[in-house]
Structure 1
Amino acid sequence: MSGAAGTEPLEERELSTEQVFGGRLLNVWRDRVRLPDGGEGTREYIRHPGAVVVVAALPDGRLLFERQFRYPLRRAFVELPAGKIDPGEDILACAQRELREETGYEAASWQHVGVMHPCIGYSDERIEIFFARGLRHVGHAWDEGEFLEILTLSVEEAEAAIHHGEITDGKSISALYRCLPLLRSAGR
């Protein structure tokens, strides 16, 4: 909630900024900021180009998932198809590309469901959520060095996997939750 006349009483204003690391995917910044009480503070954060996640429903209502090894945690995770937005890329085009490349499916119907911010304490990353239906298998086109397994789960199986700790990926949990009303209305 903002304060009077559109001001944000909790806003922190940038005084200076410096990039402390620049990588292929992540860029780390350190800013000096003016705090709401007039004092100064330091904020370190990651700038990220943004990503998409796709809840893709097959004609029988099952959802496409992938199992992929994630190096930072040194294990494989079950997650929804997702990927980084390329510079200047339209978010729908990115979602269509990622679904095709990773799962081998194209969709006849696309709906933008919303956005989520997975790491608000240390990153500006946003993930655009899409719901795709009318799937047709055309063959995957994995990136070099990309290895994954494709699996399908019913909505109920996916919910149970979340509650049993088998799906712990935040973007997948959030996207599935945001799409549940659409999935349930499509099943009627």
Structure 2
Amino acid sequence: MNDVLRPSPWQVVHSERIVADRWIDLRADTCIDAQGRTISPYYVLEPADWVTVLALDENDRAIALEEYRHGAGVVGLGLVGGAVDEGEDPRDAALRELREETGCMAAEIIDLGSTWANWGNQTNRSHHFLARGCRRVADQSLDDTEMIVVRTEDLEDLGARLEQSYHLLTWLKAMNHLRAERAS
């Protein structure tokens, strides 16, 4: 077992931008691994970081969104979320997305940490937040491609209905935070 090579970063010997526009930033790398093997092309997506927010209203009901998701071709139930603009703090992005998608402001926002979105072939992180005491203060301010219905859901039951992995992870992190808070 001691003779096993340890994982190590690949050496990128060439990188080529395949496409970069408002929807996707994709490059193809030529890499050499620790055993000297060439891996080419290895495609890497370079999206902006993302935020996901489990928002609770003043009655501790979850604010969920019903929205069409073209990649999967489904109308699904999800959480508030979106991209972090260049130079923007993830906390500010979470509050901005909450206001844009729901028209709500939060009395409190709690940073639940971040995770890699998909570390196999993406460079971005997903930042998870819990927003409490949310109340509607404005109309939605949606992007041109968004059509979102805002709903309130039972917090405990919501997790079983979320089908997007990082939305579910945000719900799990928020539930762990709330349970720990109640226990102390």
1:21 paired with 2:19, answer: yes
**Contact 2:117 2:126 (8 Å CA) reproduced:** yes
Please give the per-residue CA displacement for 1:44-64, whole angstroms capped at 9, x wherever unaligned: 111111111111112222111
- Taking the TM superposition and a 5 Å limit, the aligned residue runs for 1:25-44 are 25-42=23-40, 43-44=42-43
Instruction: Please name the residue that 1:104 is paired with.
Output: 103
**Contact 2:60 2:133 (8 Å CA) reproduced:** no
Please give the per-residue CA displacement for 1:90-130, whole angstroms capped at 9, x wherever unaligned: 11111110000001110121111111223222222211111
- Taking the TM superposition and a 5 Å limit, the aligned residue runs for 1:73-112 are 73-112=72-111
1:180 paired with 2:175, answer: yes
Secondary structure of the 2:117 match is coil
Q: 1:185 Cα shift?
A: 4.7
Q: Matched residues in 2 for 1:23 and 1:73: separation?
A: 21
**Contact 1:100 1:141 (8 Å CA) reproduced:** yes
Relative to structure 1, the CA distance from residue 185 to residue 63 in structure 2 (aligned partners, 3 Å threshold; closer, same or farther) is: farther
Secondary structure of the 1:168 match is coil
Amino acid across the alignment from 1:40? T
- 5+ residue gaps, structure 1, are 1-7, 162-166
Secondary structure of the 2:101 match is helix
Q: Matched residues in 1 for 2:135 and 2:59: separation?
A: 12
Instruction: Please name the residue that 2:152 is paired with.
Output: 152
Across the aligned residues of Structure 1 and Structure 2, the Cα RMSD in angstroms comes to 1.7
Count matched residues: 176
- 5+ residue gaps, structure 2, are 1-5
Q: 1:186 Cα shift?
A: 5.5
- Taking the TM superposition and a 5 Å limit, the aligned residue runs for 1:47-62 are 47-62=46-61
Q: Matched residues in 1 for 2:164 and 2:113: separation?
A: 18
Segment drifting more, 134-143 vs 171-180: 134-143
Q: 1:151 Cα shift?
A: 1.1
